[in-house]
């Protein structure tokens, strides 16, 4: 499709709800929706350890409505989903490690809250389009590469299991009640707005933090584990495209990156783009080794066929834009007390 034009004509004036809208993906999505002319309401409860950060929307805060609410709050969500045309359901507990320490909170957010969101839509807004953020973690350790949507799912941590259940509720409600839900299974996403204050939301933000602080990056295992990754602009483009068509109703899609790199290669690229930095290869900490999945990269052919999506931002460019953002906005992502 002539992408920009058709997305604009679809989203202009459209009433969109973004759960987790102050987080990394949510805030970037809000920015894109505002540019396309959508009416945007954010739901975010700013749970301290999670990714919500008001600075992520400081440039658009007068053009969006922010509801400080938790997706676990059934009555509030019941009200807030009413009348929306598109819901981007991005709120979630995303830390694999945290899910093993406190499986119940992960269950409440990633399962129960998803059910109550869907029940609320079924009761009062059955035609709304719902986009769910799934994760490659659902596949567990790949049996073949690249991983496509026919691959067995066998999550290796509580978060992967609960995200899987959350996704299936969406697809079930689509199949059973004719609701319009779609899941995108994200691979490693990166870019401006990531949480940097702890290392429990994936390796990329943690490595970026290490670069900013001038500390050595610790690579676990051999560093040969392969990964693909998507710059946030491409991830948001996938959500926007999937949200703008009926063709994706009831379907599940992988995202994926064209550049498959080892952790070592990734780190060397990051250091090169940053103009400095260092790393060391160290054994896995036990709690990380247990849930490591080896090599992973995905096929996005199904999504391309349905929406024309493909990743456009090369890794070096994405990393350069990411580092530039954090260098300019550093104090909003790294506490003064954390500075060396």
Q: Which residue has the tokens 């997305």?
A: 7
How far is it, in rounded angstroms, from Cα 61 to Cα 30?
A: 10
Q: Which of 60, 76, 97, 115 binds a copy of itself (CB under 8 A)?
A: 115
d(CA 210, CA 197): 11
Of 3, 73, 119, 249, the one binding a copy of itself (CB under 8 A) is 119
C-alpha span between 17 and 243 (Å, rounded)? 12
CB 242 within 8 A of CB 90: no
118 CB-near residues (< 8 Å, 6+ apart): 130, 169, 170, 173, 179, 181
Among 37, 103, 199, 223, binds a copy of itself (CB under 8 A): 103
- Residues 6 or more apart whose CB falls under 8 angstroms from that of 166 comprise 92, 110, 111, 114, 132, 134
- Report how far residue 314's alpha carbon sits from residue 337's, in angstroms, rounded to the nearest whole number: 34
Over the window 51 to 90, marking each residue x when it contacts a copy of itself by CB under 8 A and - when it does not, the resulting string is ----------------------------------------
Q: Quote the longest CA-to-CA distance of the chain.
A: 55
Please state, in angstroms and rounded to a whole number, the distance separating the CA atoms of residues 31 and 225: 33
Residue 41 or 183 with smaller CB distance to a copy of itself:
183
Give least dist CB 305 to a copy of itself, A: 20
CA distances from 311 to 37, 57, 170 (A): 23, 24, 25
Nearer Cβ to a copy of itself (281/288) = 288
Q: Which stretch binds a copy of itself (CB under 8 A): 35-43, 47-55, 115-123, 202-210?
A: 115-123
From the CB of 290, what's the least distance to a copy of itself, in Å?
A: 5
Q: Which is nearer to a copy of itself, 26 or 142 (CB)?
A: 142
- Residues numbered 266 to 325 that lie near a copy of itself (CB under 8 A) are 290-291
Site string for a copy of itself, 144-183 (x = CB under 8 A): ------x-xxxxxxx--xx-xx--xx-xx--xx-------
Nearer to a copy of itself, 26 or 298 (CB): 298
Question: If residue 87 lies in a helix (H) or strand (E), which one and from where to where?
Answer: strand 86-89
Closer to a copy of itself at the Cβ: 43 or 165? Answer: 165
Tokens 């090369």 correspond to 314
Q: Which is nearer to a copy of itself, 175 or 282 (CB)?
A: 175
Q: Does 111 bind a copy of itself (CB under 8 A)?
A: yes
- Residue with the two structure tokens 């990393």: 319
User: Cα separation of 103 and 169, whole Å?
Assistant: 19
Q: Which stretch binds a copy of itself (CB under 8 A): 84-92, 111-119, 196-204, 238-246?
A: 111-119
Give the SS3 label for residue 229.
strand
Residue 176 vs 331, nearer CB to a copy of itself: 176
Closest CB 303 distance from a copy of itself, rounded Å? 19
Which residues of this protein are in contact with a copy of itself, per CB under 8 A? 100, 103-104, 107, 111-112, 115-116, 119, 150, 152-158, 161-162, 164-165, 168-169, 171-172, 175-176, 290-291
């Amino acid at each position: 499709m002539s992408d920009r034009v058709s997305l604009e004509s679809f989203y202009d004036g459209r009433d969109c709800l973004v759960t987790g809208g102050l987080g990394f993906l949510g805030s970037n999505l809000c920015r894109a929706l505002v540019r396309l002319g959508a009416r945007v309401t954010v739901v975010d409860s700013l749970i301290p350890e999670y990714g919500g950060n008001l600075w992520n929307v400081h440039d658009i805060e007068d053009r969006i409505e922010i509801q400080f609410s938790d997706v676990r709050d059934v009555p509030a969500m019941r009200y807030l989903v009413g009348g929306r045309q598109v819901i981007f359901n991005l709120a979630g507990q995303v830390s694999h490690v945290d899910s093993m320490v406190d499986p119940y909170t992960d269950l409440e957010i990633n399962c129960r809250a998803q059910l109550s969101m869907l029940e609320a839509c079924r009761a009062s807004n059955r035609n709304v389009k719902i986009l769910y953020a799934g994760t490659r973690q659902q596949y567990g350790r790949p049996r073949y590469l690249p991983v496509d949507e026919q691959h067995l799912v066998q999550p290796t941590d509580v978060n992967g299991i609960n995200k899987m259940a959350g996704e299936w509720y969406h697809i079930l409600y689509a199949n059973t009640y004719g609701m319009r839900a779609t899941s995108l299974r994200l691979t490693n996403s990166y870019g401006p707005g990531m949480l940097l204050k702890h290392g429990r939301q994936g390796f990329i933000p943690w490595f970026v933090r290490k670069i900013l602080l001038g500390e050595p990056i610790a690579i676990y295992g051999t560093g040969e584990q392969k990964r693909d990754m998507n710059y946030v602009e491409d991830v948001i483009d996938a959500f926007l495209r999937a949200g703008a068509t009926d063709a994706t109703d009831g379907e599940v899609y992988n995202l994926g990156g064209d550049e498959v790199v080892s952790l070592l290669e990734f780190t060397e690229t990051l250091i090169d783009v940053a103009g400095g930095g260092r790393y060391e290869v160290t054994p896995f900490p036990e709690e990380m080794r247990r849930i490591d999945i080896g090599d992973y990269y995905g096929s996005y052919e199904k999504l391309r066929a349905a929406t024309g999506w493909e990743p456009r931002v090369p890794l070096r460019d994405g990393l350069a834009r990411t580092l530039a953002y954090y260098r300019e906005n550093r104090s909003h992502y790294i506490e003064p007390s954390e500075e060396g």
